[in-house]
A = this chain, B = another copy of it.
């Protein structure tokens, strides 16, 4: 837990330089634009502790798996997003002395991230060991208008000296991932070229053969005048740069402008990097810093228009929620169906930058609610495109006949993860991927997606469930043995309620989808039968039998479903009674003790109750919540959001707020002491979800929008925005509830239980008492 970030509505601000916080700040102040992203490393040399990070969306390397004890079925590789060429380098030497904040005395240090326009500014006064004083201001952004452009404006002022000054502006491709399994470097140099201020470097990844193209055009202005001397060209292995020499007088100001093109072969054909990057830097430098920034800023403004959340009366909360929305928008723009959302986005390497079930379970609602429909759809298409691989993955584990098991962790559809209890057993992810299809269609009404995309994925997943269950003679029911539920603090359990529920639900939903396609797309259905060798009658009869005869662990006394078989054999001691120095238990208890304890890492049975809330009445939700919540340790950042929403459903507004707070500033306050590894991007989506669904009470039931807002006691007012089926609503909750429909076209919504119709621009005002 840290508390050094200054609270501010639209900005993240750090004042004073503390090297101990540097890695944390590098994460917090990260920039990204969906195509590329980077940690907030310094432009000038920094010999202190730092995690350098530049990432190109979708560019990965299959790092050879490293395990202690190999289990049959483990994947050979862990595909990870690569640390790519570092293009921000601007090294400064004054009379041969290097500017390095690890050796200089640093005063008036300020780092500021303007979230409204995604601009990173850093300023400080550095006194070099020789006593020379420099004032520096650096501004940087990754253009949201043209996502292959990054721009830096680095300004130096001499405060007390006159001396020769050398500026080296460079691109360094000799980088590696800190988490490389065998300390291997993953990039090889392909081509480079430096001509004066224009430097180009083209690299290729080993094995996967991705190309990256980086080019920079550096412009140096002394006291506002461009330096006309041709800079010195610098070339080393995997390194290009331009070196500028100046005579610097006391009071002089030098500005370095760097126009960078950052391309990858996902967009630019191999062999075209040179020309493409040349065109990009020429156009960018012609526009100049200011115009580029205006365009970028405008693009961000448009995004905030549909996604901002405003909170009055609590600045920390205001900053927190915007910080989360900001980073989600930096990470994924939905322009490319090959991309997805890594748990750390572009802010670190942990978890390989690859896709987990987090996307479907936590991120989808944010993009459904704030972005154009195609953005959420592309997240679904990502999985559709991987269906073949999911079938291969299932085959490796012994399944047949088109059964699909989506990987736990992936970038290209192949499984990467290698911890048997997760890789092989957390099959509930397959359910989340099916549920996301339902969720998308329920929200958008785009049933067309089912034919054929949704259907094909659902068929593969249903076939998996149908093979994964087995008949228990003992129970005279179908069971699912040997799984790990969302609660990873239990492994290899039998009949995890959530997993069994997802299996049955998927089968039911697929039957509905089949009925829909047969009715609405009969010819397509015939084609699909052929394509997938779908024996409808036989397969669906088996599904129906499973639906009818699935076993669910249940405690008749408490009238609750049990997380898994044998759960009641545990000692049920509420978390509150644990000595404080024993948690987080994952840092204080050995793994076996965690496993056999009753403590739950994140919503598991409650995850089902959240997703299928229509099936459970309030009393039932209360019973489950009151049983599970007190033994939940929330040691996953994905846990509180679901609890917040359910607490709200059962009228526990204080609890809902309490859970919301647990993740809202998770990274800003470095709650878990791990922000240095990168930000919890997918958990940020969970925070949004708990705002809109817990405080806003938003749900969509059978295509009908429902809102049930309340306001946490300590706030004056809040507002949030959602897009829903063409309408664009703003919900303001304060003394009264005001709902504005900004878009043309009428939208109907059930608000506090009553039906309303909102015409374009109409403002609906309700008194709080109407709740």
Q: Evaluate contact between B73 and A570: CB separation under 8 angstroms.
A: no
* A229 within 8 Å of B (CB atoms): no
From B72, B494, B589, give the contact of A591 (CB < 8 A): B72
Given the complex of chains A and B, what is the CA–CA distance between A67 and B479 in angstroms?
A: 33
* A481 within 8 Å of B (CB atoms): yes
**Of the 9-residue stretches A13-21, A112-120, A417-425, A730-738, which lies at the interface with chain B?**
A417-425
**Of the 9-residue stretches A100-108, A375-383, A561-569, which lies at the interface with chain B?**
A561-569
Q: Evaluate contact between A491 and B494: CB separation under 8 angstroms.
A: no
Nearest-Cβ distance from residue A542 to partner chain B, whole angstroms: 16
Q: Evaluate contact between A470 and B571: CB separation under 8 angstroms.
A: yes
**Of the 9-residue stretches A24-32, A252-260, A435-443, A592-600, which lies at the interface with chain B?**
A592-600
Q: Evaluate contact between B397 and A595: CB separation under 8 angstroms.
A: no
Residues on B with C-beta less than 8 A from A69 are 418-419
Given the complex of chains A and B, what is the CA–CA distance between A481 and B572 in angstroms?
A: 13
Nearest-Cβ distance from residue A404 to partner chain B, whole angstroms: 16
Q: Evaluate contact between B593 and A397: CB separation under 8 angstroms.
A: yes
From B397, B470, B568, B591, give the contact of A71 (CB < 8 A): B591
Number of copies: 2
Q: Evaluate contact between A424 and B566: CB separation under 8 angstroms.
A: no
A66-B66, A472-B569, A565-B565 are contacts. A592–B418 as well, Cβ < 8 Å?
Answer: no
**A706-764, CB < 8 A from B:** none
Q: Evaluate contact between A424 and B481: CB separation under 8 angstroms.
A: no
From B67, B493, B494, B590, give the contact of A397 (CB < 8 A): B590
Q: Evaluate contact between A590 and B418: CB separation under 8 angstroms.
A: no
Given the complex of chains A and B, what is the CA–CA distance between A618 and B630 in angstroms?
A: 50
Q: Evaluate contact between B68 and A587: CB separation under 8 angstroms.
A: no
Q: Evaluate contact between B586 and A72: CB separation under 8 angstroms.
A: yes
Which single residue of chain B is at the shortest CB-CB distance from A471?
B571
Q: Evaluate contact between B494 and A590: CB separation under 8 angstroms.
A: no
Residues on B with C-beta less than 8 A from A96 are none
Given the complex of chains A and B, what is the CA–CA distance between A420 and B420 in angstroms?
A: 11
Q: Evaluate contact between A398 and B593: CB separation under 8 angstroms.
A: yes
Q: Evaluate contact between A472 and B593: CB separation under 8 angstroms.
A: no
Given the complex of chains A and B, what is the CA–CA distance between A482 and B594 in angstroms?
A: 10
* A474 within 8 Å of B (CB atoms): yes
* A581 within 8 Å of B (CB atoms): no
4 pairs of A and B residues whose beta carbons are closest in the complex:
A73-B590, A424-B592, A482-B596, A474-B568
Chain A to chain B contacts (Cβ below 8 Å), 16 pairs: A65-B68, A69-B419, A72-B589, A72-B594, A73-B592, A73-B593, A396-B590, A398-B589, A424-B592, A470-B569, A473-B568, A481-B570, A481-B596, A492-B492, A495-B569, A565-B566
